[in-house]
Homo-oligomer: A and B are copies of this chain.
């Protein structure tokens, strides 16, 4: 059975483009989060067709079954988690990726796929003001992972290999390894520690500086020293630039020498906030990264690139392959053995890989660096205005200093238990409106409402509407 003819692809593709365009147009009229009874979508899913069916029927099924039961992440009123922008140019880049249908597991399986990714990550490193030592031209290099979770996992594996003196590949872990985070570090680090076979006991939760949510360098130093003194092995320190809860920033310049003194790998997780360094006024967020072993930021959050596109840079280009390379006969080839090329399968857990760089490249073409900077600046400015209104509002308080475009707030009546109840009520009020979606976290054990501004569709009017729902 043959594939679509080119003309039929153009026709059906036009129908799909139109469906997507109409969906994006009508988003403001849809609730951000629908009410759905568990199991109802499954129950409405029909049998698989024996014979081909027209694409129009699939689109009708989407309208009937999917849209009413899907959370509208691209809605202008989406302020939950961190917005995961799937800008329209990035979809076109992804379509080109599928159109080429290349596999970039080895350089030789599609040289362009690998080299465009190398060139693009080198150029982006420069645009972010990253240390040249993190580029392919400088002995390290960038790579696109699916998520910051996977990025954290692979750098942990490289760190395990390096700190074991190379014994890890054959002998595995030995129970003495320790990994340093704070209570605010993303849960993907705890997951990576388990995946890597270290067990939860290997995770050291370092205190934050009192009154802040940022890692305490003196507490880190004490933890590293105490562990080393009893024969435990500091493997990796994860510093976060822009925590998920409140956007706190760990002091990388002070953390870096401590990690280095113990031979531990320093990973900087800036999944959300890192892309802000495109703006000179936010470049200071990356201070200290010039001493890190790896740095991660997600193009699929604030950089308008459809999930999945997590940017990871490492200082040592051979660290990941040293840990992860396995070459069966059917994957051996002269280019790899020449040492002149990068085989990205050795920089990740999966073997296969898409031409992900195309969607990021499409975004950079469509918006330009200046367009991306203004996107970030607009949201930071809107967040500052919202924060000021919350500070001025009776009965509300900021739960943490605003961080870039993230505002955390809570009810403030003087009675902490009543505050928690009121904050929960506020989250429910916003979310049940259908006009906006916010999520929650805790700060100091207290319930907090998070407003993460960052969707490309969000305008001042949407933030004003949210402010009205918050009563400010």
**Shortest Cβ gap from A268 to chain B (Å):** 18
Q: Is the CB of B146 within 8 A of A350?
A: yes
Nearest Cβ in chain B — how far from A72, in angstroms?
8
A112 / chain B contacts, CB cutoff of 8 Å: 36, 41, 65-70
Most B Cβ at <10 Å: residue of A6, A94, A101, A171: A101
- Complex interface residues of chain A between 1 and 18 (CB less than 8 A to chain B): 1-4, 6-7, 9-10, 12-14, 16-18
Does A143 interact with chain B (Cβ within 8 Å)?
Answer: no
| Contact call A58/B98, Cβ cutoff below 8 A | no
Contact A365 B57 (CB under 8 A): yes
Pick the contact of A352: B18, B308, B352, B368 (CB < 8 A): B308
Complex contacts, A422 vs chain B, CB 8 Å = none
For A84, give its contact among B95, B103, B186 (CB under 8 Å): B103
The answer to whether A187 and B331 have CB atoms under 8 Å apart is: yes
User: Across the interface, which residues of B come within 8 angstroms of A86, CB to CB?
Assistant: 98-99, 101
Closest to A93 in B: B58
Within 8 A of B (CB), among A98-137: 98-103, 107-113, 115-116, 118-120, 122-124, 127, 136
Contacts of A187 in B (CB 8 A): 326-328, 331, 351
Tell me if A160 counts as interface (CB < 8 A to partner B). yes
A89 proximal to B (CB < 8 A): yes
Beyond A81-B330, A110-B70, A111-B41, whether A13 also contacts B17 by CB under 8 A is yes
A95 to B91, CA, bound (A): 6
- Which of B13, B173, B362 is close to A197, meaning CB atoms less than 8 Å apart? B173
Q: Judge whether B95 and A16 touch: CB under 8 Å.
A: yes
**How near does chain B come to A44, taking the closest CB pair, in angstroms?**
8
- Contact check, B52 vs A368: say whether CB atoms are below 8 A apart: yes
With A16-B96, A81-B330, A330-B441 already in contact, 12 other A-B pairs whose C-beta atoms are closer than 8 Å: A1-B375, A41-B112, A50-B368, A51-B371, A53-B368, A71-B102, A170-B201, A172-B175, A172-B194, A191-B326, A196-B196, A349-B349
Whether B1 pairs with A10 at a CB distance below 8 angstroms is no
A18 to B9, CA, bound (A): 9
CA A216 to CA B196, docked complex, whole Å: 30
